[in-house]
Amino acid sequence: MAAVRQRYSRWDGSQDGELPDSGELFSRLAEDVFHGWDFESALRRLLSQGFKDSQGRQLRGLEDLLDQLREQRQEKLERYNLDGLFKDIEERLDRILQKERNTLEERAQQAAGSEHRQLLEKLTQSRLDQLDALPPEAGSAIRQLQEYEFLDQAAGQDFQQLLGELRRNLIERHFEDLGKAVQNLGEQDIGQLRQLLSDLNQMLERHQRGEPPRYEEFMDKWGSYFPDHPDNLEAFLEQLRQQMAELNSLLEWASPETRQQLEEIMRAALSDEELQEQLAQLSRLLGQTSPQNPSGSRFPFFGGEELDLPGALDVMGELQQLDSLERGIRQAYAGQELPPELLEQMAESLGPDSAASLLKLQELVKELEAKGQLRREGARLELTPQGVRKIGQKALADIFQHLSADGFGSHPQGSPGGGAEVGDDSKPYQFGDPFNLDVEKTLMNAVRHSDGSRPLRLAVDDFEVWESERSVQTSTVLMLDMSRSMPLRGYFYAAKKMALALNSLIRTQYPRDTLYVVGFSDYAREISPTMLAQLSYSEYVYGTNMQHGLMLARRLLHRHRAGNRQIIIVSDGEPTAHMEGNQAVFMYPPLPETFQKTLQEVRHCTREGIVINTFMLESNQYLVQFIKQLTRQNRGRVFFVSPDRLGDYVLVDYVASRSRSN
């Protein structure tokens, strides 16, 4: 048999099937929501940490990428120092001045036998005096030498070359494209650059005042200086900010003396006061329109390798790019889409794998948006009603899968189909449906899923049942204990998941039924079922005020006179708080008044025909004492259940009570 040759390469984002899909992503988010996170925090946590799906495929988190950026930044800071920032400039300047001094001394010697000896000696000495009077700082010396007329032609050329290099280095840090145009600035070129900057500053001032900036008009006139200019003003301004940030960071780092020398060098290199003023105004305007720090970041170098000015500006540019990438990654925490150029920089700085992972994260989030499960509100991502239903359906499916696996709930639940008429349409079977099987569609589903293999096997997803028309309505208030002990004992996860599953069951199987949710701790409050996915244990307060919860539940059920009315209480303890007027009173062990006032609300519910079914996650002497009195006064039932079976019991009991009612 011929050998099979295969080629392998790094993943670049174009291959399929190597990273988790959006369904796995949403399932992971749903699990975090069940555990008490609100959706925004769950999304931020997932994006931060990444995750591994059921098939072992790994998606790297944003925190890993941030760690890479921090390591690269630290490596540069530990490698370099800026102590020798002007050393190269000073050495070149010393050589230029020494060359000029040598020429002056030669001319002085030649003048000794000349008839114009005194005049030549006077001119030579005057120039030597000018050189002797130069300040020791390189920047100030360069600025004064611009007014000096070199006698040595080579020294003069070297000085102009130094000045030109400084001009290119500094202006290129302001305008990458402009740097090429000003390598040999003549008077006409300087005038043109002054006009460009003046027009640019006027455009920014109009933008700042809220007037039309006329960006297209500016680019029509000056676009040749910016061949790769962006399509809109905001992107263009961000480009300018990044280009100016390198020099600004260097100025930010510098000591007052070094900063003064840098500014002197800039003034000497630009050699035009109006041009300098225009650049300073541009820097101010960009700073006023920037949400970031306009002056650049301050980087504490402490390495052993010295950098000259061009090298320092290069390193500052690399550090600024790392900062820009870090800001971009932090924007991705909120689900914001990153521009292609930032992803390209990511690939350059961190490698293609890191960029591909970030791109995949963006694609997964966009896919959830396209499915209608997420939506953008400003800079935030939030669940849509469809997303909330999806999370509820997952909770319901998890509980149903648990029931199917262990056979729990298989006890008789009344006569099949009692109180309901079979409709004309069928639907996929879901937990809670009467098992009025549509045999034909069920078998056809099995055939489609079997790929022609024999014997024919039925899966849960194959079953279809005839839809029933319910005749009895049930109004339910689910009272959820939100006191401090619930998350401390690890019960909040089970309670929240059960609530989501119950809401999904009622919406899909009993659409004429009504569900209210009341959370109670020291006080009670109504929680919209659509907000269950956002529910967290942020209250973290003492107090189990069942009395207030029952009062609110009765008011909600008062809206529904017909049909069955019930309250489902989920708690891990007895009442420990009650109302005195508008104030809650808490005490543990519980006060006798707390039991009395709570049982009084139980009696009100009983008189109004409201059934109270209680699901207790703990047991103690105070709780048993209270439960005995509650069951004597109301015909509801009490279940002592473990948290992992809470959803099973509540959903099975709800379906069973619907069957009994019908």
| Tens of pLDDT, residues 274-288 | 777 877 788 788 777
For the ranges 15-19, 317-321, 577-581, the lowest mean pLDDT is seen at 15-19
With a pLDDT cut of 70, the percent of the chain lying above it is 78
| Tens of pLDDT, residues 299-332 | 667 777 887 777 777 777 778 778 878 877 777 7
pLDDT of residue 537: 67
Q: Are strands 420-428 and 577-580 parallel, antiparallel or unpaired?
A: unpaired
- Which residue has tokens 């992971």? 28
Say whether pLDDT at 406 is over 60.
Answer: no
Q: Is 528 exposed, middle or buried (0-12, 13-18, 19+ CB in 10 A)?
A: exposed
Distance CA 604, CA 592 (A): 19
Per-residue burial over 377-407, b = 16 or more CB atoms within 10 Å of its CB, e = otherwise: eeeebbbbeebbbbbbbbbbebbbeebeeee
pLDDT of residue 270: 67
Collapsed DSSP state (helix, strand, coil) of residue 625:
helix
pLDDT confidence tier of residue 46, bands split at 50, 70 and 90: confident
Tokens for 139, please give them: 């920047």
Neighbours of 108 (CB within 10 A): 16
Using alpha carbons, select from 581, 585, 582, 517 the residue that is nearest to residue 552.
Answer: 517
Map out the domains of the chain with their CATH numbers. Answer: 22-80+325-383 (no CATH), 87-300 (no CATH), 420-470 (no CATH), 472-661 (3.40.50.410)
Q: 3-state DSSP helix/strand/coil percent for the chain, to nearest 5?
A: 60, 10, 30
Q: Per-residue DSSP letters for 295-329?
A: T--------SEE--HHHHHHHHHHHHHHHHHHHHH
Q: CA separation (Å) from 159 to 90, 95, 182, 253, 650?
A: 12, 10, 17, 28, 88
pLDDT of residue 367: 79
For the ranges 184-198, 378-392, 515-529, 567-581, the lowest mean pLDDT is seen at 184-198
For the ranges 95-99, 358-362, 656-660, the lowest mean pLDDT is seen at 656-660
Average pLDDT of the chain to the nearest whole number: 77
The phi, psi pair for 429, rounded to 5°, reads -70, 135
Distance CA 554, CA 557 (A): 5
Distance CA 464, CA 447 (A): 14
Q: How far is CA 303 from the centre of its chain?
A: 34
pLDDT of residue 456: 76
pLDDT of residue 281: 83
Cβ atoms of 598 and 550 within 8 Å: the answer is yes
pLDDT of residue 500: 86
pLDDT of residue 173: 55
Collapsed DSSP state (helix, strand, coil) of residue 636:
coil
Cα angle 396-397-400, degrees, rounded to a multiple of 5:
85
Collapsed DSSP state (helix, strand, coil) of residue 586:
strand
Cβ atoms of 613 and 656 within 8 Å: the answer is no
- Which residue has tokens 């990458």? 176
Query: What letter represents residue 452's amino acid?
Result: G
State the pTM of this model: 0.54
Say whether pLDDT at 578 is over 90.
Answer: yes
With a pLDDT cut of 90, the percent of the chain lying above it is 13
DSSP code at position 271: -
| Strand runs labelled E in 335-430 | 374-377, 380-383, 420-428
Q: Give me the mean pLDDT over the 210-217 stretch.
A: 90
Interhelix angle 138-145/87-110, rounded to 10 degrees, is: 40
